[in-house]
């Protein structure tokens, strides 16, 4: 089912407001796509346009207040939000700042504190000069950080959210299974990228915002580069890593294939990646920390590759909190969705493997269909 029952937003709002009370915040001010969508369900690709700022105010009580460009009023009107205030944007003199300031002052008492997400993995999606102007106009109220409230909430998913991520994963599963239809010796990597996105769409993706990958003899150099025009060659390892979207939720996992033949180094490396992934899967349950998942994978991976980030949260964004790194001691909680993403050096470069899991009361469950230890040959 697309969308969410209204109860989902009621609950998210109530949980946020309880945390706001703990942190003495009179309102939250939200400016980014996932932050606004989290409390409203407002879903559009229109955020791709950087022209207009969008604001959501979460007051201490009651529903969120949308302060948005008039072009979004119709669509916002279809959500559970009732208080929708608009201006004609872009306005070169005052692009919503006065309206936002007035709206904040209605719900924030003099010298009250407004929480704006300001920590890791966040940014403020409005012109900096406008934020400074807002601060001056809010004379008396303080724009502070959000004390990690948004992070804390979004890190733990509802069953309905996990179902959407699982659906995205199942679409990618089917697309990955069809890669032998499009990739073989002689096909340029950029053609593989294009055809793979088409497979994702054909299998049901709404959009494919993220696709990275690589191909090289016995391994690849890099996992973030755009596709080259180089044709696949015998002995290459091909990797495709996709973040496709279904109803606003991402999957994020990859698959590796040996082109025509796999060297011992590749075969062995892939087996160790799967062993690392399975070790983390077996260990993952509430109370275990992100850093412990890192620690259980690292010994499989060698010094350099084992030291990096070996997975992360996943949901409305391609990557979310927590990070599977030695210094992130976030305890896992029932409802978290994580990627397990170990990398390993081979004779030809690196191999990276990735799966998606959900944390349950008693352990973890696979959202992606886990890959076999033996690397597929195409």
Residues 296-315 that bind its own copies (CB under 8 A): 307-309, 312
Report the nearest approach of its own copies to the CB of residue 95 (Å). Answer: 6
**Which residues between 82 and 121 bind its own copies (CB under 8 A)?**
88, 90-93, 95, 116-121
Compare residues 8 and 121 and give the one whose CB is closer to its own copies. 121
Per CB under 8 A, does 186 bind its own copies?
no
Instruction: Specify the length of the chain in residues.
Output: 378
DSSP state of 298: G
DSSP state of 150: H
96-134 burial, b if ≥16 CB within 10 A, otherwise e? bbebbbebbbebbeeebbbbbbeeebbebbbeeebbebb
Site for its own copies in 339-378 (CB under 8 A): none
- Told to check if 161 binds its own copies by CB under 8 A, we report no
User: Is the Cβ of residue 306 or residue 375 nearer to its own copies in the bound state?
Assistant: 306
Query: CB of 282: closest distance to its own copies in angstroms?
Result: 25
CB contact set of 21 (below 8 Å; sequence gap of 6+):
60
Question: Toward its own copies, which CB reaches closer, 229 or 361?
Answer: 229
116-to-34, 129, 143 alpha-carbon distances in Å:
14, 16, 7
Decide if residue 207 touches its own copies (CB under 8 A). Answer: yes
Q: Which of 83, 145, 158, 267 touches its own copies (CB under 8 A)?
A: 145
Per CB under 8 A, does 29 bind its own copies? no
Between 95 and 236, whose beta carbon lies closer to its own copies? 95
Tell me the number of residues near its own copies by CB under 8 A: 72
Q: Residues 139, 140, 186, 225: which binds its own copies (CB under 8 A)?
A: 225
Residue of 318, 308, 360, 352 whose CA lies nearest to 336: 360
In whole angstroms, what is the distance from residue 78 CA to residue 40 CA? 10
| Closest among 99, 100, 92 to 31, alpha carbons compared | 100
């Amino acid at each position: 089912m697309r969308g969410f029952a209204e109860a989902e937003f009621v609950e998210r709002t109530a949980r946020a407001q309880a945390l706001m009370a703990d942190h003495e915040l009179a309102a939250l001010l939200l400016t980014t796509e996932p932050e606004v969508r989290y409390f409203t369900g407002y879903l559009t690709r229109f955020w791709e346009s950087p022209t207009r700022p969008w604001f959501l105010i979460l007051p201490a009580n009651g529903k969120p207040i949308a302060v948005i460009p008039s072009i979004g009023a119709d669509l916002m009107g279809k959500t559970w939000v009732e208080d929708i205030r608009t201006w004609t944007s872009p306005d070169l003199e005052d692009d919503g700042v006065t309206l936002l300031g007035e709206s904040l002052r209605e719900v924030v008492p003099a010298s009250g504190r407004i929480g704006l997400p300001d920590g890791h993995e966040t940014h403020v999606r409005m012109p900096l000069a406008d934020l400074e102007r807002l601060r001056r106009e809010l004379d008396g109220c303080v724009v502070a950080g959000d004390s990690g409230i948004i992070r804390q909430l979004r890190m733990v998913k509802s069953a309905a959210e996990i179902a959407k991520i699982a659906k995205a994963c199942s679409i990618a599963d089917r697309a990955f299974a069809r890669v032998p239809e499009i990739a073989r010796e002689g096909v340029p990597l950029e053609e593989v990228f294009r055809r793979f996105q088409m497979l994702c769409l054909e299998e049901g993706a709404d959009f494919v915002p993220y696709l990275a990958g690589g191909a090289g003899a016995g391994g690849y150099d890099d996992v973030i580069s755009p596709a080259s025009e180089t044709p696949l060659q015998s002995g290459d390892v091909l990797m495709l890593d996709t973040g496709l979207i279904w109803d606003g939720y991402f999957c994020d996992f990859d698959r590796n294939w040996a082109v025509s033949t796999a060297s011992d180094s590749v075969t062995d490396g892939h087996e160790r990646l799967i062993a690392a992934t399975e070790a983390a899967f077996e260990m993952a349950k509430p109370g275990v920390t992100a850093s412990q998942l890192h620690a259980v994978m690292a010994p499989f991976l060698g010094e350099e590759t084992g030291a990096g980030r070996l997975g992360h949260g996943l949901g409305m964004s391609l990557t979310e909190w927590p990070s599977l790194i030695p210094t992130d001691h976030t305890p896992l909680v029932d409802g978290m969705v994580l990627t397990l993403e170990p990398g390993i050096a081979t004779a030809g470069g690196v191999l990276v493997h990735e799966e998606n899991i959900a944390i349950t009361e008693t352990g973890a469950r696979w959202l992606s269909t886990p890959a076999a230890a033996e690397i597929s040959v195409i």
